[in-house]
């Protein structure tokens, strides 16, 4: 029995998709992908990812209307991101 036959079908499907995408990558893309894989392997030991690894901060459920108090934190803006940003800096 090979190692790949013991993996779930979903894992094998994703692996095939990744290999298919790699065929079209230029050399610099392949190098970046290799570096990314190395960083993933260093981040967590294989098959030992705990749920806490995904939740760096605890989450607390709050009602949606709790966001209303955030509305007055910034002055009203006009819709032009660059002009609005410059205006905010001018006010400081």
The residue among 63 and 47 whose pLDDT is bigger is 63
The reported pLDDT for the residue numbered 11 is 87
- Other residues' Cβ atoms within 10 Å of the Cβ of residue 87: 13
pLDDT at 32 over 80: yes
- Residue the block writes with tokens 């029995």: 1
Whether the CB-CB separation of 25 and 33 falls below 8 Å is answered with yes
pTM equals 0.38
């Amino acid at each position: 029995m090979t190692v790949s036959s013991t993996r779930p079908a979903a894992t094998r499907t994703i692996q095939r998709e990744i290999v298919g995408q790699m065929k079209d990558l230029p050399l610099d893309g392949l190098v970046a992908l290799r570096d990314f894989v190395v960083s993933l392997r260093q981040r967590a030991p294989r098959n030992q990812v705990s749920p806490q690894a995904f939740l760096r901060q605890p989450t607390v459920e709050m009602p949606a209307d709790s966001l209303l108090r955030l509305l007055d934190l910034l002055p009203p803006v006009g819709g032009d991101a660059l002009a609005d940003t410059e205006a905010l800096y001018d006010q400081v």
